[in-house]
Amino acid sequence: MPGNRAVAYKEPGVVEVIDTEYPTFELKDGPGVNPANVGRKVPHGVILKTVTTNICGSDQHMVRGRTTAPANLVLGHEITGEVVEAGPDVEFIKVGDIVSVPFNISCGRCRNCKERQTGICLNVNPDRPGSAYGYVDMGGWVGGQAEYVLVPYADWNLLKFPDRDQALEKIMDLTMLSDIFPTGFHGAVTAGVGVGSTVYVAGAGPVGLAAAMGAQLLGAAVVIVGDLNEDRLAQARTFGCETVNVGEGPLQDQIEQILGVPEVDSGIDAVGFEARGHGKDAGHEAPATVLNSLMDITTAGGSLGIPGLYVTGDPGAVDEAAQKGSLSLSLGTGWAKSLSFATGQCPVMKYNRQLMMAILHDKAPIAKAVNAKAISLEDAPRGYAEFDAGAATKFVLNPNGYLTD
């Protein structure tokens, strides 16, 4: 049996590559594993040899110590892999298949899964609806920033690529199907983006850039991306976005300079709970800033898509309320303007096949848009540090040498 190496959270600001157990078709006790899931049999699962696995901004929240993640939690929920073992109940997925793994784990059997709400599956996390690999409070399914990983409910969860050679040729794009591309696209869909829309995306990290490309695919006339990081704003401009630096003056004024009016049809929050202030307050943490600014600049009757992560436990928050996920929202503004809000995990399976087809037929160069860069598994700590420092890069880990360029 082969060994296994994986990226683990150790303490705030520190990740390490460790030796860990090769997966089996049973959930074992370990860091972050819900006691009710210990011993859970997974005959419906497969073991993947990881082709690619990406560092995500959501991982960074844990690594910064901004969640209740335990030490030695194996990280990683953005996974693409090759099937090397299949459980006895797996019928359609075969050894040798190259597959994308939706970051949200779902059973395919519960009411929510049957209604395509796979981000809030009722059967995979004993504590609450919804689950994910390698993430705090998500049931304890081991993360995929590793050489090998277990995936449950394989026939349901996995997206098989139709041609192995074509998939490996486009793998830097296809690796984004596990999370950020569907998540960004979901933000655009739930914000009501359509042909001719004007769109503001808060945040020029990988999810924000994916949301911007998603808005373009949906036919937006103008996509404006806002951030404090000039390198990330420059990356947004490489594929046709307008940009604003939210530290350089009132957001409405900057939008008016671009559009002629101080508002947009659709707003997308790709920042989440570690938001920073705008204008004179730029640089200071102000977790409700993005949500309140989106309500200010979105036209009456418009919609907000909120793929940015918000949590119920943030020990590093600026005040006691925010530590529990309670933010000072100007809900009256949203009510008065009849705005619609959509929050929560993206139901990846709702979008990943369509986005795969867009990639395979050269309609969505998402890896270029997010400036994807492949690094080794052993280089993961450096990737985390550079991403946390604001690098305009999406780091893709290459644990088993599938990426040769």
Average pLDDT, whole number, for the chain?
A: 94
Domain boundaries, the chain: 4-179+347-397, 180-342
279 pLDDT more than 80: no
Mean pLDDT of all residues in 313-319: 79
pLDDT, tens digit (0-9, with 9 covering 90-100), for 181-223? 999 999 999 999 999 999 999 999 999 999 999 999 999 999 9
pLDDT, tens digit (0-9, with 9 covering 90-100), for 49-100? 999 999 998 899 899 988 889 999 999 999 999 999 999 999 999 999 999 9
Measure CA of the first residue to CA of the last residue in the chain; give whole Å. Answer: 29
- pLDDT for residue 288: 87
Higher pLDDT, 231 or 279: 231
Record the pTM. Answer: 0.95
Mean pLDDT of all residues in 150-173: 97
- pLDDT for residue 98: 98
The CATH H-level (homologous superfamily) assignment of domain 180-342 is NAD(P)-binding Rossmann-like Domain (3.40.50.720)
Mean pLDDT of all residues in 131-150: 94
Q: What is the dihedral of CA 128, 129, 132, 135, to 10 degrees?
A: -20
Domain covering 4-179+347-397 in this structure, CATH number: 3.90.180.10
- pLDDT for residue 307: 94
**pLDDT band at 404; cut points 50, 70, 90:** confident
pLDDT, tens digit (0-9, with 9 covering 90-100), for 342-379? 999 999 999 999 999 999 999 999 999 999 999 999 99
405 pLDDT more than 70: no
